[in-house]
Structure 1
């Protein structure tokens, strides 16, 4: 009995010491993998790269951009933002990523590869290979040169946050490419050249984006004011459609299914009016909307009756439009 009384705290102390050693020294397998990433991505001409210091000491959990779990000592976050530099000599040609370099990191939760001038991925070594990393939730690929093909390579990932802003997505996007990303909560596609979404039923297919809360499509080339592709995004709270090419009349019934929407950004378009007879007063409409930005459009009708039903509205932006004369505020 006496031995058992002391065995538990002794075992706990040993575990704490082991955990401390793991955190300080990191796992050798993961240290080796990080050095392989450095070899693959490091540009010796870019002296500001955080990778320059990798390998200077054995404790990889303290390396720039690397974070580890306090208990297991395993790498759970790798921040490689701007490690290659953006203004790379064109004569060096396009650079393609080998995503399998990240497979050793079994507890990886967040991976940031932004601002690295990545053109794509090595054949058969794309992001689909990371489907085994079931803890990977956040993937940041902004400020690169990925084209539309990147979307199909993301199948099988359990992401909650996906950023593809400032890339080279163009033209029509097939919404079925997002079908497997059923856990996604945030999708950032701003600053591309997307014109529309090819779909017959929106995101209403089983296993689609019914958990998505934030969708940023700002600064694209979306010109079709028919927003039927938004159907099925039943959890959406924040929608950014600013700085696109919406013109003339916008049919507001397309927003009816977004009953949880809190923020709607439509500024910097060329919207003239809203085609609606009853505003947002239809059942299941935007009665939770708190922020509506319609600034910098061409709205000239001072009758704001289309705002009826927005009972939760707290912020309304209408500056830099063509509103003139008396304004009927009773709407």
Structure 2
């Protein structure tokens, strides 16, 4: 780099100062305010506002209290100090969001309440790999934005939607999350009777938890597309009300199969457990099993 002469020293100094200012501006833009990107910090505060808006009055101070904005007058790092938020150490982008039991209600009546989650709230998080939303009593997604929002979550690998009231209507949207390796849908209202493809596109899925969906009946496993999930290693079907488990013979990588508490499951005669060579754990507790063939 050419050095400055005495006559050029003033101009050179001005150039150096301007360069330093631009570097500081760019660093602030990259890392945002106090730790994470400003766009993602703003998005996190919008998520907090959403949960406050769908909760009963009087719980504002209990909902994500460590998530504070400039107006709160408290300094905090949204990557290091905010509960449930984990960022990439290099890019400072949000990688994980844990929003377990975040909604607050004095009383819940599932017969009258209907709460849709707007997945576009998570659109700014381009490096999001894990999203936990259990125990918030969601019943579905906003349809007008769901496909676009899920399409933006290209790096999402783990999704926990357990302990909500989702039904088969969410399956077409979930089926677009082809990067998923873990999907938890336990304790919802999934039936598998109102779907064509089910989850058949999730070919990288290794863990699937459908436990506690009491109305998954005979034939539903096929309609849920489980036969296509050939990379599946763990499958939880306890307390599902199933009577047969046809359609699982293609799951040659399956290591754990939990079928407990299916009282009407009386026979395993057609699944061909011998076709599951990597199976290490099979839970049949509290079932009505009288016949096991194919072992």
* Structure with greater proportional strand content: 1
Distance in 2, matches of 1:257 and 1:175, equals 25
The 8 Å contact of residues 216 and 239 in structure 1, kept in 2 or not, is answered as yes
Q: 2:217 aligns with which of 195, 198, 201?
A: 195
How does the TM-score come out when normalised to structure 1?
0.70
Shift of 1:216: 0.2
Shift of 1:219: 0.9
Change over 3 Å in CA distance of 1:35–1:105 after alignment to 2: same
Distance in 2, matches of 1:265 and 1:126, equals 36
Unmatched runs of 5 consecutive residues or more in structure 2: 4-22
Shift of 1:59: 2.2
Distance in 2, matches of 1:253 and 1:156, equals 28
Aligned length, in residue pairs: 259
Q: Indicate whether 1:220 and 2:240 are aligned.
A: yes
Distance in 2, matches of 1:247 and 1:73, equals 49
Give the 3-state SS of the residue equivalent to 2:64 in structure 1: helix
Distance in 1, matches of 2:147 and 2:138, equals 13
Match of 1:36 in 2: 46
The 8 Å contact of residues 67 and 78 in structure 1, kept in 2 or not, is answered as yes
Distance in 1, matches of 2:219 and 2:67, equals 42
Give the 3-state SS of the residue equivalent to 1:178 in structure 2: coil
Q: Indicate whether 1:73 and 2:86 are aligned.
A: no
Q: Indicate whether 1:234 and 2:252 are aligned.
A: yes
Task: Pick which of 184-193 and 121-130 moved more.
Answer: 121-130
Match of 2:168 in 1: 148
Q: 2:58 aligns with which of 35, 45, 50?
A: 45
Distance in 2, matches of 1:254 and 1:69, equals 44
The 8 Å contact of residues 173 and 197 in structure 1, kept in 2 or not, is answered as no
Give the 3-state SS of the residue equivalent to 2:159 in structure 1: strand
Give the 3-state SS of the residue equivalent to 1:170 in structure 2: coil
How does the TM-score come out when normalised to structure 2?
0.77
Unmatched runs of 5 consecutive residues or more in structure 1: 4-13, 281-331
Question: Per-residue displacement from partner, 1:113-144 (whole Å, max 9, x unpaired)?
Answer: 01001111112222662222221100000010
Task: Give 1:3-42 correspondences, 5 Å limit.
Answer: 24-42=34-52
Shift of 1:50: 4.1
Q: 1:163 aligns with which of 168, 184, 191?
A: 184
The 8 Å contact of residues 246 and 270 in structure 1, kept in 2 or not, is answered as yes
Question: Per-residue displacement from partner, 1:36-86 (whole Å, max 9, x unpaired)?
Answer: 111111224336744233215452112111111111111111110011036
